[in-house]
Structure 1
Amino acid sequence: MSTRTTGTRTLAAAMLIAVSVGACGSITRGTTEKMAFLTEPSGATMTSTKGYACPATPCSLEVDRSDAFDVTFAKPGFQPALIPVRTQVVGAGAAGMAGNVLAGGVIGIGVDAYTGAALDHTPNPVSAVLVPEAPHARRRRAPDT
């Protein structure tokens, strides 16, 4: 067997191993997560600090697992509500990271950490009870003296 053929086979085997052990969570969980946004009463707009938006609640969006952001719900006649949405490693994300460790996938751990594949958002669903704006206090006239 020639040195060239052996080198090609070694390179192919190394690439196959890297692909098979790398990014376990990215493969099994994906890099996005479906999130729901709800308000009571419904019909509020939702905007976020990462550019996610819905014209009216209830709604759902695919968001990057690695994104932590703040959500603002707004509706005429109600006070705006601000909800922080954060990420954390939970359940299936931890299992994906453990799979990387057991398989020796240092590259996979790095990819999963970078893409957020091991993360879930909390809270999910994101919900808010909107508070009506206070009616403007009417000014009373001072009594005539």
Structure 2
Amino acid sequence: MEVILKEDVNKLGHRGDVVKVADGYGRNYLLPQKLAIEATQANKAVIDQMKASAVRKSAKEKVEAEAFSTQLSEVELVFERKVGENDHLFGSVTSGDIAHELEAKGYTIDRRKIALDEPLKSLGEYHVPVKLHREITSHVKVTVKSDQPESETVPAAAV
């Protein structure tokens, strides 16, 4: 089945591309989610208009993403978590946690745009990439620290 993408789809193509996909993927996901339209002769005539519109829209989004990237690069998030032996966290800090904390600071970002390969499971300072546009990636400084003061972390046997 050939479809025309109305939005960028990861690992498939960009807005305005004509791509060949499995029938089920097209019928059950791309078309109902309005991510694509079927590539009929009538729709192919509209592709040129869509591509011109997509180029304009992408350029506008890129400018907005660049401005947002400069704001976001100055943001610093601090997470306090319970810590076990060897500074290993009970639980972890996930992309959802980071998105929630960014939203609390006034930045609305979808958690799927936070490119965290795996959750943060140890104390420290991290620079987490946030994909704002297909060409623009910003980094957010994330610090994970213990929720207990340093004096309380002395083992009970030493007292």
Structure 2-normalised TM-score?
A: 0.29
Larger Rg: 1
Higher relative contact order (CA 8 A, sep 6+): 1
